[in-house]
Amino acid sequence: MELNVQPGTFVRKPGMDDYKEAHELPELRAHFGFRAQQITPQYFASFDQRLVADAIDYLVVGFVFMLLMYIVYLIAGLNAFRVIFIIGFSLIGLSRLIYGAIAEASVRQATIGKRLMDIKVTDSGGNRLSLGTSFARNFAKIISNLTLGIGYLYCFLNKKQQCLHDVLVDTLVVKDRLI
């Protein structure tokens, strides 16, 4: 007989008063290779908090871009500046994607904008994202954008206020406290 025990499966052993999730029992974690899950976060970042954080992040990336363009202008002159500006301007979105993925997988779990808004990105159990999951989440934002913004508005239909890209890769954007 094969048991399909997952970390969230409710189990009970002799001597227990009530059922517990499998990840709460050390012997099952050791046997099945589960890791102890954190308590699922209770406060989720709202749409407006996420929007402001994203605007701040684009300002940061744009400022860095403008600083680099100014340096190129000083070094290479006006003609080279025009060409590099056009190429560089098209790379702002890609730069934002890479910056977001690396920052959200970092120890702080947030970009500069998210840190200023006191929010962070976690997996569904409240744990830090791996770099691969973080890149997948940021690439999935392309899908949210291709839906003409409906992917972002999906957060209004979801109890955990997840946008489409969060649902696709099973992530949460959480706020540690309400105030």
**Distance of alpha carbon 28 from alpha carbon 21, whole angstroms:** 10
| pTM, full prediction | 0.71
Q: Kindly tell me the burial class for residue 48, based on how many C-beta atoms sit within 10 Å of its own C-beta (0-12, 13-18, 19 or more).
A: exposed
Cβ neighbours around 172 below 10 Å, total: 19
For residue 2, give the amino acid letter: E
Which pLDDT belongs to residue 38? 57
Torsion over CA of 78, 79, 80 and 85, rounded to 10 degrees?
Answer: 70
Task: Please give the chain's pLDDT, 179 residues, in tens.
Answer: 567 777 777 888 888 777 777 777 777 777 777 665 555 666 889 899 999 999 999 999 989 888 888 888 888 777 777 777 787 777 888 888 999 999 999 999 999 999 999 999 998 888 899 999 999 999 999 898 888 888 888 889 888 899 999 999 999 999 876 55
Give, as one character, the DSSP assignment of residue 147.
T
Every domain of the chain and the residues it spans: 1-35, 47-175
